[in-house]
Chains A and B, each alone.
Chain A
Amino acid sequence: MTEKVKVRIDGEVIAATAGQTILEVARANDKYIPALCYMEGLSAVGACRLCMVEVAGVARLLPACTTPVQEGLSVNTTSPQLHSYRKIALELLLVERNHTCAVCVSSGHCELQSLAQEHGVTHVRYPYNYPKLGVDTTHPRYVLDHNRCILCSRCVRTCAEIEGAHVWDVAGRGIQSRLVSELQRPWGEATSCTSCGKCVQACPTGAMAEKGWGVEEMTKRRTVVSRLSSMREGM
């Protein structure tokens, strides 16, 4: 039997199920917590650090997407401190690679761009990294632009957990980490890729796109992955 617990989110008492994460409970109750690497229906990895929240009695911030609720938990989802940390996280994502919004197929439909706007990022306070990164155009239908990748790993998890092909992985360490298909084989030569395109739909930025679109033209069907996952529940 599932155990019911009572938690407090921004002061409001909410009934939840033990084992649910703070983010799941918040979203189910129309409480907004920003997140980039989280996608409903995929495992949570706590990579982007945007969903950090304050939990009463805990001195450090906790990622809402990987922290399970328990009886009596009291969470703050917004505060000046959280806002400033989320802003820093967004700025650091923007300086790490070359996110040139003006020439991006996903401009206007990009989760990184809209979260930056939402958090009042009118400029970035840190020096840009300007790495020299490639664009993989070997796949006949899709393109991977490393310049715009934030390593959220939504594509990795979509391919492994929903499609079951596990074409994608993250190789390297730290600032040198890169998304790779089939142990560094170009995407177009990856024999395990089924060309289903769900990784493209899951990607929050313009890092993965369908070929043939111009600036601002690539819109994504964000709900595809979550819908497929929900249909499998209870099987």
Chain B
Amino acid sequence: MDKVKIGTCWLDGCSGCHMSLLDIDEGIVAVLQKADIVFGPLVDADEWPEGVDVAVIEGAVSSQDDLKLARTARERSKVVVALGDCAVTGNVPAMRNGIPTRKLLERVYVEGATAQPGIPTDGVPALLKQAEPLHAAVKVDVHVPGCPPKPNAILFVLGELLEGRTPDLDSKLRFG
């Protein structure tokens, strides 16, 4: 039987959810016996490949690049998992949402700058008006709240998905 293909990515997040994914310790061996990680910060691949079975996405959708990657991942994957509070609720990245983008960037990069004040434009994607949870941008199949989700929760979710089942997280996890 072919191995299950897992892709991961982190949008507007702190990488904490990926740290928690690594924190499943020896559980990663069991996962990798049944699956290959074909895209993500943990592996070397330039583009989200076609035919991915499980997309694990950390972070809120906050910039043009986030939106593009989220859409590509959705199009090319069977199951999309929103991993962690930023992807599920917007969380900390969404705390900027009450402030207009222009004002926010000026406050940080002009008023707040001690050297070379100016809003960066080269090599950085434009911010969206608001940072939104993943399901505001694309259809999400499994929501895994937590900041970050506990390693055993991630292992449970991956284990169920690798067995072809939809993980039942009802009342198992909380926000924060």
Contacts and interface: CB of A to CB of B under 8 A. Distances in A.
A34 interface: no
B56 to A, nearest CB: 15
B138 interface: no
Interface residues on chain A, size class:
20 to 34
Contacts of B112: none
A119 B136 CA distance: 22
Interface stretch (B21-29, B34-42, B141-149): B141-149
Given A130-B98, A130-B130, A113 B136 contact: no
A66 interface: no
B15 to A, nearest CB: 14
Interface in A104-151: 104, 107-108, 113-114, 116-120, 122-124, 127-128, 130-133
B174 A102 contact: no
B135 A116 contact: no
A98 B85 CA distance: 13
20 contacts: A98-B95, A99-B175, A101-B176, A102-B91, A102-B92, A102-B175, A103-B92, A103-B95, A104-B176, A107-B176, A113-B175, A122-B143, A123-B89, A123-B135, A123-B140, A124-B89, A128-B89, A130-B97, A131-B98, A216-B176
Contact of A101 (B85, B132, B136, B143): B85
Contacts of B85: 101-102
B144 A132 contact: no
Given A122-B143, A123-B145, A116 B174 contact: yes
A113 B174 contact: yes
Given A102-B92, A122-B144, A114 B174 contact: yes
Given A101-B176, A116-B174, A120-B171, 10 more contacts: A94-B89, A102-B147, A103-B95, A116-B175, A120-B170, A122-B88, A123-B135, A123-B140, A128-B97, A128-B132
Classify the interface of chain A: helix, strand, loop or mixed: loop
A27 to B, nearest CB: 21
B133 interface: yes
A103 B89 CA distance: 13
A132 B94 CA distance: 12
Interface in B91-116: 91-92, 94-95, 97-99
